[in-house]
Structures are given as C-alpha cells and as structure tokens.
Structure 1
Amino acid sequence: MRTYALTDSWTMTRRELAHWARQPGRLVVGLVFPVMLLLMFGYLVGGGRGVSGDYLDYLMPGMLALTMAFGLEGTMLAVTQDLDKGVVDRFRSLPMADGAVLVGRSAADMLQSAVGLAVLIVMGLALGWRPQGGPGAFLGAVGLLLLFRFAMLWIGIQLALVAGKPEMVQAVQILVWPVGFFSNALAAPESMPGWLGTAVAWNPMSRTATAVRELFGGPGADPGHLWAAVAWPVALLAVFFPLAVRKFARMSH
C-alpha cells in the first residue's frame, strides 16, 4: 500500500511539473519576484534599522526566509482549481492513494522553492554577499529554509481546501503578508517598540531567519534560535499536514 502511495504521489508530481512547460511565465515570475524584493530593499528602500555591520549580510538570510513564506498562492490556486473544475473528482474514480494529489502538488512546489533559493543565493553572491559558516552550515541553513517552506506550504494547502474556490484564494493568501513583514527579515527587533520587537521575535519566520544568520555567520545571529527554527515548522506540520490530508479525504467521499 505504501508503495502505491509513493507511486501515485510521484505521478501527481510529474503532472505538476508538466504544467511548468505549459506555463513558464508563472514560474519565471515566481523566481524573479524575490530578486526584485532583494534589490528594492537592499538598494532602493534602504532599511537596516538597528542592524550593526553590513546590511546585505543581514538582509540576505531575511530575504531567503521571506521567499519561503511567499508564493503560496500558486499552490493554493492549483488545489482550488482542481477542485472547482472537477479534476479531483476524476482522480477519485481511479485506484489512487488518498492525499497523492496533495503530496504531488507539494513536491512540485518544493522543487520550485529550491530553484528559487538557488536563484536568490546566486544573486546575493553577485551583489557581494559571502556566507561565512562553511559548507556544512550552508547546507544546514538551506535545510532550515526548506523546512520552513514545507510547513508554510501545508498551511496554504489547508487554507485552500477550506476556501474551496479560486476566487477566495487571494483573500486568504493576504494573511501571509503580515507573517512575512511582521518579522525581523528586514530590520532588527531591537529597533522596534518593546512590545512589537517581542512579538516579532516570536514569529516563526523570525526564528528561521535568525538561525540562518547564525549559520551564515552574519549580523543578527543568535545561537538560541536554532532549536526554535526546527521546532516551529515541525509543530506547524504536525497540525496542518494531517488536517489537510483529512480534509481532502473527507472531500473524496
């Protein structure tokens, strides 16, 4: 049974990857948008409130974490469109494992997220950013970022299943923006009012960004956040992964 589930999930993953060839524009926009944000905040907006040292060294980990929180609407739209157009109903008539559609969609999203990370890292290196932690720390930072993305992804899938309709996705995905900007991605919490800085420091994305700064050896690092950067996404996954799979299974009957 487990083998069938993996095979079905891989089939659904290939289906999602085939969409890339038919809709390359969406993929390109998703990859270029984080680069535009990096250039805008790094050189146009300025920023760096409360940051000691080179702002680019502080900004890069924050932008990498911010990128992992954004772009969920693509997956959310794909899920709701499949529901709305009856594609899922056709899948239900096949001998397919429950949740294979969702796992395939999430696997394709994670591949795109990994490519997006690579593009943004290459741009950062081109701008002069240099991580200092060594190869092991570098891979650990990338792992934390992808873990955070995986958790955010399943929150998005659950919200998409609850929303049900593509036109509802835009309203729901707006909720991602406070999570992204209500964080330490662009400015240090120490520069904020006390209550705001405390709330920002507890944001799961802030924990990931701070831990990644530690692994990259940049300003704003805090060794105490490494465990939280693992614990928060795992806790979110423990809640939203089974919720999404259960919601989808109930819709299948």
Structure 2
Amino acid sequence: MTESKWYWSILDGWTMSRRSFKHLFRNPESLFLSFGLPVILMLLFVYIFGGAIQTGTDYVNYVVPGVIIVCVGYASSMTAMSVTQDMVGGLFERFRSMPILPSSLMVGHVIGSFARNMIGTALVLLAAILIGFRPSAGLQEWLGVIGILSLFLFSISWLSVVFGLLAKSVESASAFTFLIMFLPYVSSAFVPTDTMPAWLHAFAENQPMTPLIETLRGLLIGTEIGNNHWVTIVWFGGLLIISFVVATMIFKRRKSE
C-alpha cells in the first residue's frame, strides 16, 4: 500500500510538472522572464555599469553569480503567482473530485520552477562566456556550483509556494516576493560590500545572499571562499526545510477549509 502511494505521488507530481512546462512555453511573458531577462541583465551590467566599477577582476567574471541570483528572484514571483492562480482559480477544487493527489500541485510548481531557473542559469553562463567570462573551475568546483545552486533554487521555490498559498490574489503574490528580488542588490552581487556605507555594509555582509554569491564566485573563478559555503548551506538548508513544512501546513489548512 505504501509503495503504491509513493508511486502515484511521483506520477501525479510529474504530471503537474509537465503542466508547468507547457504553461511556460505557451506564455510569452513567462518565457521572456525566465530566459530572456537573465541574458539582458548580464549585458546591461557588464556593458553599462562594468566600466565604472572596480572589483579587482574583469567585471564579467565578478557579476555572473549576482545576475543568476537576481534572475531567480524575479522568477520566484512567477512561481508564487502561478500557485495563487491555481488556488483562487478553482483548480484545487476540481482536483478534489479527481483521482489525483492535490499536493502534487505544489510539487509540480516546485519542479517546474527549478527547471526554469536551471535553464535560465545555463543561458546566463553561455552569454557570459560569449562576452568574456572565463571560469577557472574544475570538475569538483562545477559539481559544487550545481549543488549550491540546487539547494538555493529548491529553497526559493518552496518559499515561493508558501507566498503563493498565503496570497489572496495574484497581485499580492507578486508583492510577497519583493524581498527575494531586493536582497541580491544589497549584497556583494554587483559591487564589493566594503564600498558601501558602514550601516549598509554590516547588513550586506550578514544577509544570506552575500555568502551564497561569494561561494559561487569562489567556485567559479577561484576567489577566497572561507566559511561562506557552510553559512550558505545553513541559511538555505534551513530555509528549504522551514518552507517545505510551512507550505505543507498551509496547504492542509486550506484543504480543510
């Protein structure tokens, strides 16, 4: 019985993931936000701001991790809005009358979000290489990049699901994700934190995006990582667990309403 339940859970989750993929490619706005925006931001920062910012290395090498993280923040709003749309649009109610696990709705959104962001990340890296990005990472470092990014993407995806479940409208779901989009700008993503005012420097150094970006930058181009990788794992591992538990609790509560 347990094995059968797991089998149908996986099958239903995959069905909802396929639905997310189809919606992405049928929606020009979502397609641009996921795949076009990352490349445009990369070109914008490198060619417009890069000449005015001194980072001790070619700016394209410095900025790649920050662009990836910013684009994940923008994409998180799309995930939250999609979850809210499904909840307020009556899809969940229809699932109740069908032989499908309603919780697969959340799983489908998470997997769809993860896949979109991974494709966007690959496009950022490809565009960066075409304009001069030269990573020094070996196989071990690339595996580390994939692992850290996967942890970050899953944690943000589940947090977006939480926001989507809490929101009462699609518009408010988008507003909930503002903090995710804002934090990378107040970090070491685009400028060294020691160039910031003292009060802002303290915040930038101790918020979760800075150790994440410093870890990715160190893995990609060999800058000093220190203990940033452990701090990143604690921050986003904890966020993943908390977001998953909270999303499950909210979903069950709404299920009983």
Aligned counterpart, 2:216: 212
CA distance in 1, matches of 2:208, 2:63: 17
Question: Within 1, Cα distance between the matches of 2:214 and 2:56?
Answer: 14
Are the counterparts in 2 of residues 137 and 215 from structure 1 also a CA contact under 8 Å?
A: yes
Equivalent of 1:240, from 227, 230, 243? Answer: 243
- Take 2:122 and 2:75, find their aligned partners in 1: how far apart are those partners? 15
Q: Which residue identity does 1:195 align to in structure 2? A: W
Question: Does residue 164 in structure 1 map to residue 173 in structure 2?
Answer: no
CA distance in 1, matches of 2:167, 2:161: 10
Secondary structure of the 1:252 match is: helix
Alpha-carbon spacing, 1:109–1:177, altered in 2? closer, same or farther (3 Å):
closer
Partner of 1:226: 229
Q: How far apart, in 1, do the equivalents of 2:51 and 2:148 lie? A: 25
Shift of residue 24, structure 1, vs aligned partner: 4.3
1:25 CA displacement = 4.4
CA contact (8 A) 1:183 1:205 kept: yes
Once residues 180 and 53 of structure 1 are traced to their aligned partners in structure 2, the CA distance between those partners, rounded to angstroms, is 20
**Displacement of 1:3 after TM fit?**
1.9
Amino acid at match of 1:247: I
What is the deviation of 1:206? 1.2
1: CA distance between counterparts of 2:244 and 2:183? 19
CA contact (8 A) 1:113 1:146 kept: no
Aligned match for 2:134, one of 130, 135, 151: 130
**C-alpha root-mean-square deviation of aligned residues, in Å?**
1.8
Check the 8 A contact 2:92/2:102 in 1, yes or no. no
1:21-70 superposed Cα distances (whole Å, 9 cap, x missing partner):
42244213321111111111111123775621222111112222222222
State the distance in 1 between where 2:250 and 2:52 align: 42
Question: Is 1:62 aligned to residue 57 of structure 2?
Answer: no
Q: CA deviation at 1:196?
A: 1.6
Matches within 5 A, 1:132-147: 132-147=136-151
**What TM-score comes out, normalization by structure 1 length?**
0.92
The TM-score, its normalising length taken from structure 2, stands at: 0.91
Distance, in Å, in 1 between the alignment partners of 2:52 and 2:195 is 9
Equivalents in 1 of 2:249, 2:52: separation in Å? 43
Q: Which stretches in structure 1 are left out of the alignment for 5+ residues?
A: none
Write out aligned runs for 1:19-38 (5 A): 19-38=23-42
1:205 is displaced (CA, Å) by 1.5
Counterpart contact for 2:162–2:246, Cα < 8 Å: yes
CA shift in 2, pair 1:36/1:21, >3 Å: closer
Give the distance between the partners of 2:51 and 2:159, measured in 1 at CA: 30
Which residue number corresponds to residue 200 of structure 2?
Answer: 196
The answer for the alignment partner of 1:12 in structure 2 is 16
Q: What's the counterpart of residue 114 of structure 1?
A: 118
Following TM superposition, by how much is the alpha carbon of 1:172 offset from its aligned partner in structure 2, in angstroms?
A: 1.8
- Match 2:86 to one of 82, 86, 92: 82
CA offset at residue 92 of structure 1? 2.0
Q: Select between 125-134 and 169-178 the one with higher mean Cα deviation.
A: 169-178
Aligned mates of 1:212, 1:21 — CA distance in 2: 29
Structure 2, unmatched stretches of 5+, are: none
Q: Give CA-to-partner distance per residue, 1:189-234, whole Å, 9 cap, x none.
A: 1111223222112221211110011111245x32220111222110
Q: 94-103 or 54-63: which moved more?
A: 94-103
Residue aligning to 1:185: 189
Deviating 4+ runs (over 6 angstroms): none
Letter aligned with residue 136 of structure 1: Q
Partner Cα separation in structure 2 for residue 29 and residue 65 of structure 1: 14
Structure with the larger RCO, 1 or 2 (CA within 8 Å, 6+ apart): 1
